[in-house]
Structure 1
Amino acid sequence: MREQKKARTRQHITDTATLLFRERGFDEVTVAEVAREAGVSTMTVFNHFPRKEDLLLDRIPETVDLVTRAVEERAEGETPLAALRRLMLELVDQRHPLGAIGDTFVWLWRVVLGSAALRARAREGVEEVEAALAGALDRAGEPRARLTAALVVAGCRVAYVESAGRQLAGERADDVVADHRAAVGELFDVLQGVHDRAAGD
């Protein structure tokens, strides 16, 4: 019950913050305003979100969890790269915010692009995901875990940025999704080829 209440409070705070950021822009809204609008204290906000940026970029922990679980809980006989490919394509098909495809995400990208603080936090988030993935790959016995993690994250980021950019320019998600899925597939084909050649050395 206590954990459920904490989760509801956290969601209420981030929902409130998201509405304010969408209406006025990230830099124009203070944490105190978010707290007042959500009906909680500023301390409560910071108890749930260490930094203001995390009020909007609240899916970084989820991303860390998703990529590590994809590797650690993969099916018997499934390689880590195959598991990660499957995850990335599932996120696209679900129109998940982390999948880069969705007409409803354009406003979010605009808010992030409009704030230096958010862009910096997003870069930190990418580094956190890469470090977590490297750890999961290492535990899975991957001999070049850090390099593989860096290549996976960099490749996914390129695909994400390109597809988001097309949608920001006015293309509909339905017109971008096929190219995005193809880019993700090509990325993992290349990574698997590199992995196989390295394993044969």
Structure 2
Amino acid sequence: MGDLGDRRARKKAATRELIRTTAHRLFAQHGFDTITIADVAREADVVVQTVFNHFATKEELFFDGRAFWVDGPATAVRDRPAGVDVLSALRSHLLRFIATDLGSLCTAEQRGYRATVSASETLRMYERGLVFEAEYRLADALRESWADDAEFGHVVPSDPATSAPLTAALWLAAARVLVVENRLRVADGHPAAEVAANAEELADRLLGRMQAGSAAVTDLRTPLSTPARTRDRRVS
């Protein structure tokens, strides 16, 4: 039964990868909005239901394997080395993300991916939802991880429930603005490597100042009790 289960798992993974690579190729060639799930299924030689067995929506299929940044900040905070404070871990991660994202624009594949997103209002809306999801996940990680920071003598917020979502929103917004604005510079013809290096240097200064002045956020305390947070109550 073990071998049979392994074969089934490998076959399922191979089918998923075939659907994803086929879809990404079609989206790159013809645009996201003009390609249907039926087109993807036909090109991959599977039935439509097989596509939906792996991907709930066409948008999910498009971003599959391309949105590591949704979990990245939260993972960087949770998996930081012992003794490294939360904001230092987050700062290091965002600097790497900015440099990598902008540097990758030297490839035709990445430029095509960004052009496809820009050309589709549906994808832009979906990506905005992913941005909010990244903030939610980072806020959860900050709330959990600040408790660990206290054990190492690091300064922690007086009210993590208030400071966590504010920190997540401010830091991710800063990184996002730097990435989006500098993508335009690459589109205008500036070398991607040069733009990435300049953006990383600017981000290091900006995030450094935000970290140094973090007390403006971490000292906040709400006079009201904090309501229970559940995903279905979050409103973006």
Equivalent residue for 1:109?
A: 114
How big is the shift at 1:61?
5.9
Structure 1 portions without partners, runs of 5+: none
Q: How many angstroms apart in 2 are the aligned matches of 1:24 and 1:200?
A: 51
Q: How many angstroms apart in 1 are the aligned matches of 2:97 and 2:11?
A: 28
Q: How many angstroms apart in 1 are the aligned matches of 2:50 and 2:193?
A: 40
Structure of higher CA gyration radius: 2
Tell me the amino acid that sits aligned with residue 191 of structure 1. Answer: M
After superposition, the C-alpha distances for 1:24-46 in whole angstroms (9 at most, x for unaligned) are 11111111101111122222212
Equivalent residues in 2 for 1:1-201, closer than 5 Å: 1=6, 2-59=8-65, 62-92=68-98, 95=100, 99-102=101-104, 103-104=106-107, 105-141=110-146, 143=160, 144-199=163-218
How big is the shift at 1:47?
2.1
Structure 2 portions without partners, runs of 5+: 1-5, 147-156, 221-236
CA contact (8 A) 1:159 1:184 kept: yes
After superposition, the C-alpha distances for 1:1-40 in whole angstroms (9 at most, x for unaligned) are 3444433332222211111111111111111101111122
CA contact (8 A) 2:166 2:217 kept: no
After superposition, the C-alpha distances for 1:112-131 in whole angstroms (9 at most, x for unaligned) are 11001000001001011110
Query: Closer, same or farther in 2 for the Cα pair 1:42/1:163, shift >3 Å?
Result: same
Q: How many angstroms apart in 1 are the aligned matches of 2:83 and 2:164?
A: 18
Query: Closer, same or farther in 2 for the Cα pair 1:55/1:115, shift >3 Å?
Result: same
Q: How many angstroms apart in 1 are the aligned matches of 2:91 and 2:12?
A: 33
Aligned residues: 197
Query: TM-score by structure 2 length?
Result: 0.75
Tell me the amino acid that sits aligned with residue 198 of structure 2. Answer: D
After superposition, the C-alpha distances for 1:56-98 in whole angstroms (9 at most, x for unaligned) are 22246633332222111101121222112222333455x4xxx
CA RMSD of aligned residues (A): 2.1
Query: TM-score by structure 1 length?
Result: 0.87
Secondary structure at 2:214's aligned position in 1? helix
Q: How many angstroms apart in 2 are the aligned matches of 1:91 and 1:7?
A: 28
Tell me the amino acid that sits aligned with residue 40 of structure 1. Answer: V
Query: Closer, same or farther in 2 for the Cα pair 1:20/1:51, shift >3 Å?
Result: same
Residue identity (%): 38
Runs of 4+ aligned residues of structure 1 deviating over 4 Å after TM superposition are 197-201
Secondary structure at 1:140's aligned position in 2? helix
